[in-house]
Chain A
Amino acid sequence: MTTASETKWVGRSIRRREDPRLLVGQGTYIADLTLPGTTYVELVRSTHAHARIRKIDITKAEKHPGVVAILTGQEIAAAMKPIIIPAIRPNLGGELQVPTVYPLAIDKVNYVGHPIVAIVAENKYIAEDAAQLVEIEYDPLPVLLDPEEALKPDSPKIYEEWESNIIWKGTLGNGDVEKAFSEADYILSERFYGHRTGAAPMETRGMVAAYDNFTGLTLHINSQRPHILRMALSKIMNLPHDKVRVIAPKDVGGAFGTKAAIYREEFIVSYLAMKLKRPVKWIENRMESLMSIGQERDQIHYLEIAVRKDGKILGIKDRMIADSGDGSNGVYMGFVMPWLSAAYLTNAYDIPNVHIDLTCVVTNKPCLSPSRAFGEFPARFAMDYALHLVARELKLDPREVFKINIIKEFPYVSATGITHDSGDYVGAFNKLLEALDYDKVKQEQKEARKNGRLIGVGFAMGAEMSGLGSQVFVPMENQPGYGSATVKIDTYGMIQVLEGDSPQGQGHETTIAQAVADELGVNIEDIYISYGDTFNTPFASGTLGNRGASYTVSAAVLACRKLKRKMTKIAAHLLGIESDSEDFIFSNREVVWKKDTTKKVKIEDIADVAILAPTKLPQGMEAGLEATAYFEADIASMLSIGVHGAVVEVDPSTGGFKILRYVVVDDCGVPINPMLVRGQVHGGAVMGIGNALYEKYSFDESGQPLATTLMEYHMPSAADVPHIEMVEFNVPTPYTPLGTKGKGEGIPAPVPATLASAITDAIDRPGFKLLNLPLTPESIWKALNEI
């Protein structure tokens, strides 16, 4: 017989429970939902990057057969508050200027794609026909696309009432930076640029809203954070909270942060459903998606690193400039990502003296919205590639420069205030060198060079946030960091888990069930997971920032443990024994008395008593079998380490290169399902490769986006990316009940420094450096010819 201490489910690579429906085409994504009487919205968007709207003529569109309604900015603005209310406004100290944002543009547009008019029609084809008939006249304004230009005092302002184009400005750091710099043997000083790129999930955003006078507004939306959106809708649209229900569909086609922000369309679609008393559906098309969401990174770092001659970093200074776009999206406003980038700049390294000046600037581009590796992508590139440049300059083995700086003692609090809970960063780093067979590769490099082949090896680290606790999350986004879950045992002894998060492919139905199955000694088939509906799940901040395995799973475990105390009391009562909770184990769907294992009660019998036959409960015990837990780790935040390494071969005549090997050493604490962790790592690394090499949101000089279809936004196919080797190096964290940590968020971030350092190592010429992303053959060729 299995005892409770033996892990039965956690740690096993079982097949996912969500897969069967997805494999037979019975997933229910937002586009698959059509309510009776549904109308369809098409948005007319700005074709100018910066302009005054002189005239909007909807007369032809209104007359088009099949058009149900047309909505303009004035009307919707009159019906609600501006979107950026305090509840969805970050609170990071520093100097903040808040734009006034309404769902539709009224008299001015700030980027190409800014919604101006909403058409509602009987079907989506007609909605598009009518959208063609709307005529808008513009008076173009000067277009600001370069944040450094936008910072100049004589630059035109995007928000006239502001004092400058700076949406947020502040400093981060600690220690005596000037002293560190005065004691340095060498100071590296470079400008690093991480371009505008991001996540682009395969499913675009979408929503269906319905309204009636009695139940109020129901918004079905593929959001990562339904509870927060519900609060925002209630406040902004002046609706009582009980008359707003947000439901995320069972299946969401990826999000990676892009579905975590609060955008304009939520309000447009909700308002129209209320006005028309008919369901209203809007599915973002790919062009709209590529021109308005998921654009991230876009940071300039003027980074200075003061080092001792043995490679030890004494201090760093960074002047960061972020291009926030128009700063209009709720929750993030285009500056939370760069802020976190600054906070995590020191990455996995022990750097006592840090000073970072961060300036976030508005431009005539869409607002930055979160994308996997939240803000960190350019910062990791700057920091880790800089370490390689330092090693080259000081003629040190980069291994030694990394090792001397890696954080060795935990918990560690960085100069920017980030708490690293636990782990073995040096061990993970050594594991990578071993997996790469570093010395052998260096030997092969020498041999290859004799034959004219340029091979190089590089690496980088990523101390990845594994969920942020309330201590960080509350000041950052006015939201709690805890995980929450309700565990209910139903009348037939089946176990229902309700979570307030809303997953998008992470596999919560499997991983949460694995943890709960172990706690309650049941089979995974005895458990069912519910999420997405704000009317019956506990409040939570959403599925984002790697919170699942750290916080949400832990909350489910704690809820089980609460429940177990009650269940053992009932069991003892039914068995007629007096005993402590600790004297029972949960196994084979039974609660068993350790002292005499023939004395046991089935969980379904306990449920029967607790729910259907409360007369059989111990005297005075409350009926029912459910518990809700809110898990907060006893530490500000947790991180998990990933170490990436690559071997590349470069053709110096064209700058073309091939990735010969790509290795990731990964720590996620205790893996609940190692197969799912591997999937996260592969996907994260490949997204990083796509972002670093191919994908770019580019604009022409008038601010027209050039990557508006997937023919121009070059997401890599299977043939464009290498095989990803993944090595597990797991160190359980002492701060969660099972030692688990979230995995997924930061994986792309070490990619650019890994590849840039490998390419630089292959070229191996003094003065050769790659300071700008993306890393294209052309950029490498240019860097080679600029030495």
Chain B
Amino acid sequence: MYPAPISDYFAPSTLEECLDLLYHYGSQAKIIAGGQSLLPLLKLRMVDTPIIIDINRIIELQEFGEKFLEPGKRILRIGALTRHKTLASHPLVLSKYPIISDAAKYIGDVQIRNRGTIGGSLVHADPAADLPVPILVLDSTLRVISKDGERDFSAEDFFLGLMMTVVEENEILAYVDIPSPQKGTGAAYSKHSVVFGDFSVISVGARVTLLEDICQSSRIYVGGVNPRPQRAVNTEEFLQGKTITSEILQKAADVMAEEIEVESDMRASNTYRKILLKHYGFNVLSKAIQRAKEDQF
């Protein structure tokens, strides 16, 4: 199975060049980074595009590291071209943002992680994908750029629906900024898949900030549900101010299973997805709490 004819291909080496191309060809062009989602769509002819813009040579999109946006406001900046492989194994991610490596580690397989990029995954916005959940959980900010200027979105505002984001035809996602977690914070992610590396049947990401044993705040998202990851607001409220015990987490997982809307498909029924939610909800919250406790010292 092969892509439909493509009339032109550009591989700009600077962001400016890329934005010019998008300005001219936006509606007729598709951006390719890792191509791990785009190529299947091209072969299935679900995407038919006259022009391909290959962004792999753009250095500006490859930024990766911590920086201060202003005094006291430290962030991890992840350029859109950062590969899953980096997210899965970079010491900085493993030590300070392990929820991201939790998610990146099990995206597809080694080959997919060598090519696939965070930008591609987020803009593709597959509800069963792994990276959107931690990006939402960490209250990230996403920068979208075009020749006309820059727009910043919270992760919550970035995802519009099933495979839909705010990114317009002439725009590109440049990077994701993740605020440095405050002390006493832990976050974790886990998913259920039918086989290793498959899309998630259900995925849960949670971030919890503790003072002693009391939950100061939390952010919880569930993935693998249509049309986009859903925030578990009631669960967050339930945990607020509570002294964390195993029993409380068990109850929180029940609240989560209750509030999240799930559907049936060939991978699992809606009833069973709720069972999985309880299980993974509990495990992920426990892991986040454990990490939060480790972070208190």
**Nearest-neighbor residue (CB-CB) of B199 within chain A:** A711
Interface string of B169-198 (1 = CB under 8 A from A): 000000000000000000000000011111
Interface string of B257-297 (1 = CB under 8 A from A): 00000000010110010011011000000000000000000
- The residue that B272 contacts in the complex, of A129, A694, A719, A778, with Cβ under 8 A, is A778
B109 — which chain A residues lie within 8 A by C-beta?
Answer: 717
B199 — which chain A residues lie within 8 A by C-beta?
Answer: 711
Interface string of A270-288 (1 = CB under 8 A from B): 0000000000000001010
Taken together as a complex, chains A and B put the C-alpha atoms of A10 and B229 apart, in Å, by 60
- The residue that B196 contacts in the complex, of A129, A706, A712, A717, with Cβ under 8 A, is A717
Taken together as a complex, chains A and B put the C-alpha atoms of A124 and B43 apart, in Å, by 13
Contact flag A714-B279 (CB < 8 Å), given A125-B2, A132-B45: no
Tell whether, in the assembled complex, residue A285 and residue B195 are in contact, meaning their CB atoms are under 8 Å apart: no
B248 on the A face (CB < 8 A):
no
Taken together as a complex, chains A and B put the C-alpha atoms of A124 and B1 apart, in Å, by 9
Find the residue from A125, A715, A778 having the highest chain B CB count within 10 A: A778
Interface string of A281-298 (1 = CB under 8 A from B): 000010100000000000
- The residue that A720 contacts in the complex, of B45, B196, B272, with Cβ under 8 A, is B196
Tell whether, in the assembled complex, residue A285 and residue B269 are in contact, meaning their CB atoms are under 8 Å apart: no
Contact-residue size bin, chain A (C-beta under 8 Å from the other chain): 20 to 34
Tell whether, in the assembled complex, residue B1 and residue A128 are in contact, meaning their CB atoms are under 8 Å apart: yes
Contact flag A285-B266 (CB < 8 Å), given A714-B198, A717-B195, A720-B196: no
> How many A-B residue contacts, CB cutoff 8 Å?
46
Taken together as a complex, chains A and B put the C-alpha atoms of A570 and B259 apart, in Å, by 90
Taken together as a complex, chains A and B put the C-alpha atoms of A711 and B195 apart, in Å, by 10
Taken together as a complex, chains A and B put the C-alpha atoms of A706 and B265 apart, in Å, by 10
**Nearest-neighbor residue (CB-CB) of B272 within chain A:** A778
B59 to chain A, nearest CB (A): 33
B45 — which chain A residues lie within 8 A by C-beta?
Answer: 132
Tell whether, in the assembled complex, residue B266 and residue A717 are in contact, meaning their CB atoms are under 8 Å apart: no
A285 — which chain B residues lie within 8 A by C-beta?
Answer: 1
Taken together as a complex, chains A and B put the C-alpha atoms of A128 and B3 apart, in Å, by 9
B72 on the A face (CB < 8 A):
no
Tell whether, in the assembled complex, residue A781 and residue B2 are in contact, meaning their CB atoms are under 8 Å apart: no
**Nearest-neighbor residue (CB-CB) of B273 within chain A:** A778
Residues 578-620 (chain A) with a chain B CB within 8 angstroms = none
**Nearest-neighbor residue (CB-CB) of B276 within chain A:** A654
Tell whether, in the assembled complex, residue B266 and residue A698 are in contact, meaning their CB atoms are under 8 Å apart: yes
Taken together as a complex, chains A and B put the C-alpha atoms of A128 and B48 apart, in Å, by 13
**Nearest-neighbor residue (CB-CB) of A286 within chain B:** B1
Tell whether, in the assembled complex, residue A717 and residue B279 are in contact, meaning their CB atoms are under 8 Å apart: no
B41 — which chain A residues lie within 8 A by C-beta?
Answer: none
Tell whether, in the assembled complex, residue A129 and residue B194 are in contact, meaning their CB atoms are under 8 Å apart: no
Interface string of B1-44 (1 = CB under 8 A from A): 11011000000000000000000000000000000000000000
A451 on the B face (CB < 8 A):
no
Tell whether, in the assembled complex, residue A287 and residue B279 are in contact, meaning their CB atoms are under 8 Å apart: no
A653 on the B face (CB < 8 A):
yes
Residues of A at under 8 Å CB distance from B?
124-125, 128-129, 132, 285, 287, 653-654, 694, 696, 698, 706-707, 711-712, 714-717, 719-720, 776-778, 781-782
Q: Can you report 26 A-B residue pairs in the complex whose CB atoms are below 8 A from each other?
A: A125-B2, A129-B4, A132-B45, A285-B1, A653-B278, A653-B279, A654-B275, A654-B276, A654-B279, A694-B194, A694-B195, A696-B266, A706-B266, A711-B198, A714-B198, A715-B195, A716-B195, A717-B195, A717-B196, A717-B197, A719-B196, A719-B197, A720-B195, A776-B194, A778-B272, A781-B272
